[in-house]
Amino acid sequence: MNERSPQHLYRKLPSVDRVLSDPAAATLVDRYGATLTTAAIRALLDEAREYIKNRNTLPEWLPLIKLLARADARLDAQNQISLRPVFNLTGVVLHTNLGRARLADAAIDAATRVMREAVTLEYSLGAQSRGHRDAAVSELLRVLTGGEAACVVNNNAAAVLLMFAAIADDKEAIASRGELIEIGGSFRIPDVMRQAGCRLVEVGTTNRTHLEDYRNAINENTALMVKVHTSNYKIQGFTASVSEAELAALGRETGVPVAADLGSGTLIEFSDYGLTHETTPQELLRAGVDLVSFSGDKLLGGPQAGIVVGRAALIERLQKHPLKRALRCDKTTLAALEATLRLYLRPDNLAETLPTLRYLTRRVSDICADVERLLTVCRAYYGRTYIVESETCLSQIGSGSLPLDTLPSRALTFAARDGSGRTLECLSERWHVLPKPIIGRIQDAKLWLDLRALDDGDELERALIAAAES
């Protein structure tokens, strides 16, 4: 028989059982379990057969010891939790695809504590009645926003759905044509209303809506008037819209409640921190709006949650609605949210304690210092293939906040010396396979690392060096 015939090569492959009986395989079984280990070995033997078929030779990794090392590497990769921590150097501080707000230490501590223990989630110590799961957060929100009560659900999309369902089910809700927004992920106000079982009555035009438009649309079936914060776009030019205060006055006059979807909900005056003013829930409540909803993980800087604050009687209807049961938050979210809100009781050092605010208010000179320090290292390790520079750039707040609202920042930029797009992509790919991937953005034929949201320059330096040496 021909020594080089594939049949002869196939016969050199060990059986799955033979591989499994090796002492080194026992270590893998211990670490990853028998099912996964067997599957990995079977897959590698299949690959070896494929290799022989195509090349008429044994793969170099066939000796048992190498095969098991290969299985180990694969199993280890599979064993990683798929939500991987990354360096968010995209320049978008609240990046939805990268998990939005990074929580404050106080929130992380509160969340881990309640994850480990049984807690008084709906249990009152002392009082007779069964406690309410939103009670603690509700009390804090009352103090912070001036709203009479609050309701907390899984995200702001859920909060908006619940407001429509609890207040305007089988009734009409009036909204301006200029505010029928779509935000990412197929969240469209008209669709949400339909899901909630309420009939949308559109008033005004795309660019102009007047108070009379709302007034003329009110009839005995009207249950709600809605204002939606157009956070991700701007209508400019010949425009008119009705303020929350005017709409609230009309609501009081006609007995129709007014709800506002605020989107990002900061509880502080942004201009005090050198940022562009953002509408706050307390402002809208003072203007007379009955219900205001906003996100927990946008500007608030907390866990993913949807918060509704406002009149006690209306909040009661939200709390009693069957959908609330389906949308309610778990103890972990509530603990993290409560701890985040407590930080707002001491706003003087919020820019240190709340990561989101810390990134948004970082001085450009600070960011520059990080860039300058890393510039030398990057030129040493990447300078042969890439032109590395320190350049000014603009960070975005993100998460639906105006893309036009930008913050001056500083970035490390990498341009391929050979001018090839492929060379640039190679760099980004190399950073993506790091244990903690570095995520930048490609723009104008350069790879940009905006260091605004960087916590630990030393950690990034080590990662950049590791990637260059790999």
Q: Torsions phi, psi of 309, nearest 5?
A: -120, 155
Residue with tokens 């480990």: 116
Selection from 352, 400, 433 nearest residue 92 by Cα: 400
What is the identity of the amino acid at 257? P
Q: Which stretch binds ligand PLP (CB under 6 A): 63-71, 106-114, 257-265, 429-437?
A: 257-265
Q: Nearer Cβ to ligand PLP, position 67 or 198?
A: 198
Rounded least distance, CB 297 to ligand PLP, Å: 7
Q: Which of 263, 301, 302, 355 binds ligand PLP (CB under 6 A)?
A: 263
Closest distance between ligand PLP and the C-beta of residue 315, in Å? 18
CB 57 within 8 A of CB 418: no
Compare residues 97 and 443 and give the one whose CB is closer to ligand PLP. 97
Q: How many residues bind ligand PLP (CB under 6 A)?
A: 15
310 forms part of the interface with ligand PLP (CB under 6 A): no
Q: How far does Cα 311 stand from its chain's mean position?
A: 29
3-state secondary structure of 248: helix
**By CB under 6 A, what part of segment 178-217 binds ligand PLP?**
183, 187
Phi and psi of 406, rounded to 5°?
A: -120, 160
- CA dist., res. 303 & res. 259, Å (int): 23
**CA–CA separation, 466 and 381 (whole Å):** 10
Q: How far apart are CA 6 and CA 13, in angstroms?
A: 11
Site track 119-148 with ligand PLP (rule: CB under 6 A), x = hit:
------------------------------
Measured from the CB atom, is 157 or 411 closer to ligand PLP? 157
CB of 156 to ligand PLP, least distance (A): 3
Distance CA 395, CA 403 (A): 10
Please tell me whether residue 241 binds ligand PLP under the rule CB under 6 A. no
Strand-pairing partners, residue 446, are 443
Asked if 306 is part of the footprint of ligand PLP (rule: CB under 6 A), the reply reads: yes
Among 102, 133, 229, 410, contact with ligand PLP (rule: CB under 6 A): 229
Nearest residue to the partner ligand PLP, using Cβ: 263
User: Which x/- pattern, by CB under 6 A, does the window 357-376 give for ligand PLP?
Assistant: --------------------
Joined tokens for residue 275? 């940022």
Q: Any residues with CB less than 8 A from the CB of 29 and at least 6 apart, and which?
A: 20, 37
Dist CA 371 CA 439 (whole Å): 16
Smallest gap from residue 184 Cβ to ligand PLP (A): 8
Pick between residue 138 and residue 231 the one whose CB is nearest to ligand PLP: 231
Q: Which of 178, 251, 281, 400 binds ligand PLP (CB under 6 A)?
A: 400
Is residue 295 close enough to count as binding ligand PLP by CB under 6 A? yes
x-marked contacts with ligand PLP along 146-175 as a string, rule CB under 6 A: ---------xxx--x---------------
The residue among 334, 310, 308 whose CA lies nearest residue 133 is 334
Buried (b) or exposed (e) across 129-150, using 16+ Cβ within 10 A? Answer: eeeebbbbbbebbeebbebbbb
Q: In the complex, which residues of this chain contact ligand PLP (CB under 6 A)?
A: 155-157, 160, 183, 187, 228-229, 231, 261, 263-264, 295, 306, 400
